[in-house]
A and B are shown apart, each in its own frame.
Chain A
């Protein structure tokens, strides 16, 4: 019975589902570590999802039956560029203009939700189109491993990249001067400022990076996981990503565990229903949300959030 439920393909599916959460939540981690909360992740994801698909669609030669490398590269670059612009705008609002981060995020979310759909209607007249997105790449040797090969090593490039970001993030945050500065700015901006660190510059960097990763999260949906765009296709994933940052206690590894737990349970609950096991559908759908809370009850250590989170900084006060 359990064998039927937890199969290699279910686990592989869970890993794929975790991808957009991972990008978005890691981006949000950088921002929050430096003291900036951005609730607008979902809006940026949608912008990235649409624009990357648009780029791929335009550049792929008409009638192509399989993926076209340059188009996919352009898709990722466009997503990063759009994320950069949205991230910079977020930074201007939250850092320079010191807006209330709770509301500004909701504003950015609504703007992205509306704007992505508006562009979709202007460009494609709202017609659902599909593109040839990132193909699966079998990693030599490893993909032939029994079970593990299917789970981990027959995914597509954007999935690998998301997981590669986890150690990179850990390294940057913990082993580099930049990371030290980010943490200092998030913990005690006044002291950091006194030490000659530019609080503004650090926060601009993290918030912009967060925007780029959120946008990439959207791209990982539209040109890698489902290869279509639809209005509001993220369906709340950006908000879950923000929640996962708290789950992971502002650490890349914790965020990854959170994204994996949530997504694996999601894949598993789909499998439970596919198998026709008699559980009300709605209860099955609750499972990932419920288990994330329960897991945190048992796993939680008392880690305080970055002390300056949501607090704007102004010199000379």
Chain B
């Protein structure tokens, strides 16, 4: 196939000789938003949560005022960077990089488009220290909801063994797992918490096997984070155990077994950013989803008959977090600490 050489040369010559026919940036009234996500937009987890938020915003503001486009499955960071740059140069008003691995590329791209607003999650880093002012950051304090669900899990377990399945021990997953574990132990120090980071975001069979191993060890309440957990949910369903979900509402996966889901509602981070963009004042701030501001919600599964006392205990802890009576800090070793305010 040496002839390909000739072919590609022809193609390249044509490409360079033919004047570029890119369309100039459109000037429209409507706000145009682009989002780049690592996995598919319907992963029932991280990527879906941002798409759901954008759909909600579109519903609220009307399609004539708010348009959004997406690039999904951008696991390859290089491709994501190309997409971000392309969206910015196509004149989108707000370009969202929905993955902590995109930060490095974003810090290279943002300075080239000072009039475009960028958002990056999940992180708190807005690159202010690098003199960049047009990057917003957003994160979810997922340890808060995890803690609440952990407390409820501790009250529900009969075997006193609880299992958590995670992908890799970093970022949002670590925060969730640490929070859940802290909640369980805060409620009952005697409980054994089994944690397994399976080192994969996509291997359903491995997630299932990890859940099986926990069930065999006697765990009767499980939880897990990232897009491979449906494999684990099914094993819990078969064994008649209980499941706590995060990132999206997973009640439909196992209506009899899912107790509650922590749901990320990114509109609480996106709306203030959008207001800034509309006002033409790009500030580059960081926003967090918390139980207090409503960005994190615990959605109980309506099909599951949860003991009223357990639910009340959960709601009490939730209120304590909202009121600031319980808060979280991370020490120098990256360990999550639970801080309880003095009574009164």
Contact = CB atoms under 8 A, between A and B. Distances in A.
A285 interface: yes
Contacts of A226: 204-205, 207-208, 230-231, 234
Interface of B: 39-44, 73, 163, 168-169, 194-200, 202-210, 212-214, 216-217, 227-228, 230-231, 233-234, 237, 252-254
A227 B210 contact: no
Interface of B, secondary structure class, is: mixed
Given A127-B42, A233-B204, 18 more contacts: A20-B205, A126-B41, A128-B42, A130-B230, A130-B254, A226-B204, A226-B231, A230-B227, A231-B39, A231-B40, A233-B205, A266-B206, A270-B198, A270-B209, A274-B163, A274-B196, A281-B168, A282-B199
B159 to A, nearest CB: 14
A281 B208 contact: no
A9 B253 contact: no
Name, among A125, A128, A221, A233, the residue most crowded by chain B CB atoms within 10 Å (CB to CB).
A128
A126 B199 CA distance: 24
A142 B113 CA distance: 70
Given A10-B216, A270-B206, A227 B40 contact: no
Contact of B253 (A128, A274, A275, A276): A128
Given A230-B230, A282-B199, A274 B210 contact: yes
Interface string A202-245: 00000000000000000001000111101111010100000000
Given A128-B253, A270-B210, A17 B205 contact: yes
Nearest to B199: A285
B209 A274 contact: no
A129 B251 CA distance: 11
Contact of B231 (A10, A228, A270, A282): A228
Chain A, interface size category, equals: 35 or more
B125 to A, nearest CB: 25
A10 B215 CA distance: 11
Contacts of A126: 40-42
A48 to B, nearest CB: 14
Contacts of B43: 128, 230-231
Contact of A281 (B73, B163, B197): B197
List the 3 shortest-distance A-B pairs measured between CB atoms, nearest first.
A126-B42, A9-B216, A235-B203
A33 interface: no
A285 to B, nearest CB: 4
A28 interface: no
10 contacts: A13-B216, A20-B205, A121-B40, A125-B42, A128-B230, A130-B254, A232-B202, A235-B202, A267-B213, A281-B169
Q: Is the interface of A mostly helix, strand, loop or mixed?
A: helix
A125 to B, nearest CB: 7
A64 to B, nearest CB: 13
A42 interface: no
Contact of A221 (B44, B204, B216): B204
Contacts of A127: 42, 44
A273 B197 contact: yes
Interface of A: 7, 9-10, 13, 16-17, 20, 117, 121, 125-130, 221, 225-228, 230-233, 235, 237, 266-267, 270-271, 273-276, 281-282, 285
Contacts of B252: 129
Contacts of B233: 130
B42 A121 contact: yes
Nearest to B237: A130
Contacts of A125: 42
A230 B237 CA distance: 18
A276 B194 CA distance: 7
Nearest to A121: B42
B323 to A, nearest CB: 34
Contact of B217 (A130, A221, A228, A274): A274
B42 A274 contact: no
Nearest to A220: B205
Given A127-B42, A230-B230, A225 B199 contact: no
Nearest to A231: B40
Contacts of B227: 230
A274 B205 contact: no
Contacts of A221: 204-205
A282 B196 CA distance: 11
Nearest to A221: B205
A9 B212 CA distance: 8
Contacts of A13: 209, 212-213, 216
A10 B213 contact: yes
A270 B212 CA distance: 10
Contacts of A9: 212-213, 216
A130 B41 contact: no
A230 B204 contact: yes
Nearest to B169: A281
A273 B196 contact: yes
A271 B206 CA distance: 12
Could you say which of A121, A127, A281 has the most chain B C-beta atoms within 10 Å of its C-beta? A281
Contacts of A267: 209, 213
A45 to B, nearest CB: 11
Given A130-B254, A281-B169, A17 B42 contact: no
Contacts of A275: 217
B209 A266 contact: yes
A232 B39 CA distance: 10
B253 to A, nearest CB: 5
Contacts of B203: 233, 235
A57 to B, nearest CB: 13
B234 A227 contact: yes
